[in-house]
Amino acid sequence: MNMRRGFALALVAASVAASLATAPAAFAETLTIRSGEVAVDVTQPSGLTHAAVTTLRHPWWQREFDGAQWISWASNGGQVSGPTGRYVYRTALTIPANAVNIGSVIVYRAADNCARVELNLSGPTACNAGYASFVTSVHAGARPGANQLDFEVTNYVCPSCRPNPTGLIFTATVTYDEGTDRDRDGVADDDDNCPDTPNSSQADGDGDGIGDACDPDLDNDDVLNDDDNCVTDPNPDQLDADGDGIGAACDTQELPLTKDDCKTDGWQRFDGTATFKNQGDCVSFVVTGGKKPPVG
């Protein structure tokens, strides 16, 4: 091999190895839920809500639906007609909290008589008429955590129809990347304002992009929390007129404002490192506009 070409290839290999070593860990994941394997609640036309029942009216469909099973409104729902009207079958598609790059939810379904699908109460699809209509639909808007998946199944009636059963079979699949989450607070590092300190609420009181759980200067006044006499209220000059250790910016009352503040032993309230000797000194401070401050 040409020495120059060999050196160039070595550089490329080293560069690739370095990028792999520093790249954040992310793994393509696929999540699939199937009727008969997940909890599904069904609301009947009468308004009654209860758990859907798994039946085996069409056991051969399980091959078509990767093991999913036919579910219905009642234990005999696979054989006899239920009341006509709309049945809502509801389940949860729960995506890990640290998921990133979440794709669309792909739903494969069949229903008797037809089913409309919504993800998080949006994106309804048209009904697929007839129990043998196997239909695939794509739904955007999935998010980390619990996602609500609704199937609105309509049970028709007509003069020429024989009694109709009502039920549903489905699979729902979504892909995502599993982002790194060093502090295990459910927020992926790329989106975490405190990647090494749990801060699941992402609270950021001063809006500086550093979460409260790890912000060394919570009020962003350039005085670190450990040295700040007003940790959450900006007090950059650390003013503390009454010397009580509570800065002027967050002290409920730094010094008396009226003569009434001095009455009924109120003057003793201002008892930091600067104190009034008596009520008269307190009143003098007020009436002179602060020209006679308390003695420190």
Taking a C-beta distance cutoff of 8 angstroms, is the pair 282, 253 a contact? no
Q: What is the CATH number of the domain that holds 98?
A: 2.60.120.260
Q: Give the residue from 178, 200, 227 where a domain finishes.
A: 178
Model confidence pLDDT, tens digit, residues 235-255: 888 877 666 788 878 877 777
What integer pLDDT is reported at residue 75 of this predicted model? Answer: 77
- Joined together, the tokens standing for residue 262 give 């001095």
State pTM to two decimals.
0.56
Number of domains making up the chain: 2
Q: Give the residue from 147, 178, 209 where a domain finishes.
A: 178
Q: Give the residue from 120, 145, 178 where a domain finishes.
A: 178
Q: Which of 32-41, 55-64, 251-260 has the highest mean pLDDT?
A: 32-41
Q: Is residue 212 part of a domain?
A: no
pLDDT at 169 over 60: yes
At 8 the three-state DSSP class reads helix
Candidate from 69-73, 82-86, 113-117, 128-132 with smallest mean pLDDT = 128-132
120 shares a domain with 28: yes
Question: What is the rounded distance in angstroms from the CA atom of residue 62 to the CA atom of residue 147?
Answer: 24
For 104, the domain range is 24-178
Q: Is residue 187 part of a domain?
A: no
Q: Is residue 230 part of a domain?
A: no
H or E stretch including 95?
strand 85-95
User: In a 10 Å sphere around its CB, with 0-12 CB exposed, 13-18 middle and 19+ buried, how is residue 7 labelled?
Assistant: exposed
167-178 and 28-34 strand pairing: antiparallel
The helix/strand count (H/E) of the chain reads as 3, 12
Q: Is residue 136 part of a domain?
A: yes
